[in-house]
Chains A and B, each alone.
Chain A
Amino acid sequence: MKKNEDAAAKKKPKTSAAQIRVQKDLTELDLPATMKTNFPDPADLLNFTLTITPDEGMYKGGAFTFSFAINTNYPHDPPKVKCTQTIYHPNVDLEGNVCLNILREDWKPVLNLNSVMVGLQYLFLEPNPDDPLNKEAALEMTKNRDQFLNNVKSTMRGGYFKSVQYDNVLAR
């Protein structure tokens, strides 16, 4: 009987290292109230979104959503993260690509989802015009900070600005 059960156990799928790591990362997230995850399919831990609602800084009042896609080679490969909205930010381009070092060139398997999320939030507290992805926004930020602040505020309400249509990202 034991032999048969053993044989049956061998046939079954094993929990992959990536799965265990993601479960560990997610259940041990230590997020401030300004960040919230959402799982469109709660059974799928590999695809979800993160919404950041900064409570200070120039992006205060907005709710910014990022999609996370984790592949089976995690944590060797970093999660793929994109902003799902069109926003005006020096480090996020109009396609939603994000310039955050730990998402690409500085990713290491010892980092985890929490580090990525905290890194993303930091971009809203301290946008970095020295590593621009949206060059125009970065230029504005260094040259004319007041104008930049205005642009941030107005684009967060949505609508056209310099022939780009931005999404309304005001927190409800």
Chain B
Amino acid sequence: MAAAASSSDWPGRYHHIDQILDKPGPRTDPGFLAGDGVKDFLRGQAKILVIGAGGLGCEILANLALTGFKDIHVIDMDTIDISNLNRQFLFRQKDVGKPKATVAAEFIMKRVPGVTVTPYFGKIQDKDEEYYMQFNLVICGLDSVEARRWINATLVNMVDPEVPESLKPLIDGGTEGFKGQARVILPGITSCYECSLDMLNKQTQFPICTIANTPRLPEHCIEWASVLEWPRVFADKKLDNDDPDDIDWLYKTALNRAREFKIEGVTWSLTQGVVKNIIPAIASTNAIIAAACCNEAFKIATSSAAFLNNYFMLIGTDGVYSYTFEHEKRQECPVCGGEALDLAISPELTLEQLIETLTERQDIQIKKPSLSTPTKQLYLQAPPQLEQATRPNLEKKVSELVPPSGEVTVTASTLPFSLSLRIAYTS
């Protein structure tokens, strides 16, 4: 592998990086293998996944390739829009309309010899755990909370305490205008993305009554058109943010509204910006955050220095301010908090008996538990209608309801959040 990796290397190619990798420093991990060992790993074995090939993703891909990662995979579900070209520097005018992942991969491979970038044009949800298991590291440059929550939960669920390789460090970068953050998540060990969900800045939302009655801003008029008028006029048609005709309708409707209230400033691009919640992306913020993420990826992959613990934030709105702190794990986090319990039961045990077993266990102290599997409710204590609908399950055998090694989620007011059971059947 080492030979293959070095075939495309020329003397001095990694001169600067080798300064770090050839000898230990005061901050290096005791496990650091200075010299060829670590270089082989970085350049010949490490496999890294980049999620998102947009503003952050382009920077991340370039940084990783130039740092010496040679086996890079990239996922993105988007195609290139002309408005991306000012900062997503792996794309050119001729690429507009093509998948970001594919074009970015080709560009990097052409520009940085010896690097393989494997693109996937699609959603992260298309891939299963087996796919994510092949990587050593995952870096995210995403703009969606939903996608981050998904990948975070997937990586946390993948951790098997008995298999160290099942723990995939997740490096998450994010930017919003002049602000940004980079964080390192060691699934199950450090606080996860879900732990910090309530820290998120919400997008600015205007009270619906202001929109309806006392608009003062062009944004109020646009929200009026999209939140109130669209559903009234097109009762059964869902607004498609990506359809220029839909945006056009909103723009015209908002413009009329603005005229009526003598408000100026409704434009087509503001309309699009408001409904798609577009925050102006700043190339330099992306560059800083991507650099921070890739720096962490390099340190984790090589153990050449202590890595970020665990949250770095950047505020560039007034001067340049940054702060690093340890975000703490939340006990009641629905993804990484709560307890998991392996439970071996007889295939003859009924659901009611299982619930009794749970309530009798001293170690979990549970009262009135509600149980479900990922696909159905087994037994819910309330509301009355759902209790009634699930009551017939109580008499059934658990083995009829839950497949072997199936997951059962238990919630109860006495639990901080939830308890996850993995059911095995004794034969």
Q: Residues on A close to B: CB < 8 A?
A: 5-6, 8-17, 19-21, 23-24, 26-29, 31, 36-39, 42-43, 45, 72-73, 75-76, 91, 93, 95, 97-99, 101, 103-105, 107-110, 131-133, 135
B380 within 8 A of A: yes
Taking CB as reference atom, which chain A residue is nearest B406? A12
B145 within 8 A of A: yes
- In the bound complex, residues from chain B placing their C-beta under 8 Å from that of A39 are 385-386, 389
**Which one of B4-12, B16-24, B201-209, B237-245 is at the A interface?**
B201-209
- In the bound complex, residues from chain A placing their C-beta under 8 Å from that of B212 are 93, 97, 99, 132-133, 135
Main secondary structure, interface of A, reads loop
Q: Flag if B407 contacts A95 (CB, 8 Å).
A: no
Q: Flag if A104 contacts B149 (CB, 8 Å).
A: no
Q: Flag if A17 contacts B411 (CB, 8 Å).
A: no
- In the bound complex, residues from chain A placing their C-beta under 8 Å from that of B335 are 17
Not counting A15-B420, A133-B212, a sample of 6 additional A-B residue pairs whose C-beta atoms are within 8 angstroms of each other reads: A10-B130, A17-B334, A23-B377, A26-B383, A108-B198, A132-B213
Measured CB to CB, the closest approach of chain A to B159, in angstroms, equals 12
21 of the cross-chain contacts (CB-CB < 8 Å) are A6-B160, A8-B405, A10-B130, A12-B406, A15-B373, A15-B374, A23-B409, A29-B382, A36-B383, A39-B385, A42-B385, A45-B377, A73-B145, A73-B149, A76-B200, A95-B228, A104-B206, A108-B198, A109-B197, A131-B209, A133-B212
Return the contact of A19 from the options B130, B200, B372, B382 (Cβ within 8 A): B372
B362 within 8 A of A: no
- In the bound complex, residues from chain B placing their C-beta under 8 Å from that of A29 are 382-383
Return the contact of A109 from the options B198, B231, B385 (Cβ within 8 A): B198
Q: Flag if B208 contacts A99 (CB, 8 Å).
A: yes
Assembled-state Cα–Cα distance A128/B97 (Å): 49
B259 within 8 A of A: no
How many B residues face the partner with a CB closer than 8 A?
58
Return the contact of B370 from the options A21, A23, A73 (Cβ within 8 A): A23
- In the bound complex, residues from chain A placing their C-beta under 8 Å from that of B228 are 93, 95, 97
- In the bound complex, residues from chain A placing their C-beta under 8 Å from that of B59 are none
- Top 3 nearest A-B pairs (CB, nearest first) are A42-B389, A131-B209, A17-B334
B418 within 8 A of A: yes
Assembled-state Cα–Cα distance A93/B211 (Å): 12
Assembled-state Cα–Cα distance A12/B408 (Å): 12
Given contacts A132-B209, A135-B213, is CB(A26)–CB(B380) below 8 Å?
yes
Return the contact of A76 from the options B197, B208, B227 (Cβ within 8 A): B197
Q: Flag if B208 contacts A17 (CB, 8 Å).
A: no
Taking CB as reference atom, which chain A residue is nearest B130? A10
- In the bound complex, residues from chain A placing their C-beta under 8 Å from that of B92 are none
Q: Flag if B385 contacts A37 (CB, 8 Å).
A: yes
Q: Chain B, 143-163, contact with A by CB distance < 8 Å: what is the 0/1 string? A: 001100100011001101000
